[in-house]
Amino acid sequence: MTKSVRKFALPLVLAVMLLVSACVTQTPLAEPTTPPEQTVAATEPVVEEPTEEPTEEVIVEPTAEPIVIVDVVGREVTLEQPATKLVGTHNPTLNAAVVLGGGGKYLVGFGNKSMGRGLYEQVIDGYDDLLEIGKGSNFNMESVLASGAELVILPERHQDLVPQFEAANIPAIVILDSSESFETIQQTLTLLGMAVGESEKAEEIGAFLSGQLENAQTLLKDTTEKPSVLFLGASSALSVAPGSMIQTSLIEAGGGVNAVSGVEGLGGFVDVSIEQIITWNPDFIWFPQYSDYTIEDLLNDPAWSSISAVQNNRVHQFPSLLEPWDQPTAAVALGVDWALHTLHPDLFSFEDLMKNVDAFFTLVYDKTFTAEQLGIE
């Protein structure tokens, strides 16, 4: 090789070698960058709660409170629940149970059934089969226990019987005050209404009685004439009703005055002489339907002949044939109407009387009776 060729060839070779070296020794490639994975916040799986069916609200009735009654002699009597089985021996007191029950609903034992016969036979189913436990203060404890009685009802005059019933674990309540008046009748109905759960019925009957009294008062407001009335006892014509008896209240409500004066007594008729009666000289004489004597007995007795009521034929048997309207019972409301009609017929007609009679018996027993059945005219 010539010197000039070598002069050009050597740089060429060096250039080629550099080129090859560059191809062989390459700059290492960077690792490919993988984009970071998106980080998703871990969440609890959504679980749908099952929809609860609406549940019916359970209403828990409050436990009934015991019935606490303060009776007419101040005794506190507690009943765990309303009584459903009653006994008693005093007919006016028992009548409160009859009217509140619309018949014999609450009675399992009765007193003197012969005195109740009439109305009770018609409003008490099975009256003949109703157990008779005694009369007045005389009762048979074995019969009382056999009746399953839950409550004994008594008048104040028989309050001495209470310890005997308490000793037998039978509650007893005194509901009829010996001081008879329209207010004591209302009180009797109210107390027994609480004991048997018939307070509403007691109020209705009480309202009827109040209505008759208010009506009579309104009709009599301009009346100055007040006839004197003598109310005789049932067992003897020589016994009279003093001021403390319901008969006096009836006389006054009907527009009269009690002829008796100067005679005191509580809870019963008082014996007097014929001379005293002649001195009083009443305009009217009334006596109970259940008496042991008759109108004719008085009208035909010479000892009574000088008395104004006898001379003017104003001697009347107080109604009714079905039940007495002159005792401290709910039916005294009709006694007010009869007294008003008898003493002041110009103010209160017989038709007015019968309209109220029908209203009373419908309210209490859901039935009516004719004037003939009641023995009035």
pLDDT for 260 beyond 90 = yes
On whether residue 367 sits in a domain, the answer given is yes
pLDDT for 159 beyond 50 = yes
On whether residue 245 sits in a domain, the answer given is yes
- 189 and 86 inside one domain: yes
pLDDT for 39 beyond 70 = no
Whole-prediction pTM:
0.80
- 23-32, 57-66, 259-268, 368-377: least confident range: 23-32
The number of folded domains in the chain is 2
On whether residue 267 sits in a domain, the answer given is yes
pLDDT for 40 beyond 80 = no
pLDDT confidence bin for 267, thresholds 50/70/90 = low
Chain position carrying tokens 């005194």: 174
Domain boundary among 169, 197, 225: 197
- 93 and 161 inside one domain: yes
- 245 and 365 inside one domain: yes
- 116 and 171 inside one domain: yes
Please give the residue that has the higher pLDDT: either 20 or 38.
38
pLDDT at position 116 is 80
Please give the residue that has the higher pLDDT: either 3 or 218.
218
On whether residue 151 sits in a domain, the answer given is yes
pLDDT confidence bin for 263, thresholds 50/70/90 = confident
∠ CA 119-125-129 to the nearest 5 degrees? Answer: 100
- 349 and 243 inside one domain: yes
pLDDT confidence bin for 112, thresholds 50/70/90 = confident
- 260 and 141 inside one domain: no
- 97 and 155 inside one domain: yes
Domain boundary among 197, 223, 255: 197
- 192 and 246 inside one domain: no
pLDDT at position 137 is 86
**Model pLDDT for residues 268-320, shown as the tens digit of each residue:** 899 999 999 999 999 999 999 989 999 999 999 999 999 999 999 999 999 99
pLDDT confidence bin for 81, thresholds 50/70/90 = very high
pLDDT at position 25 is 42
* CATH classification of the domain holding 154: 3.40.50.1980
Domain boundary among 197, 224, 253: 197
- 232 and 94 inside one domain: no
Mean pLDDT of 15-28: 39
* Domain ranges, residue 154: 67-197
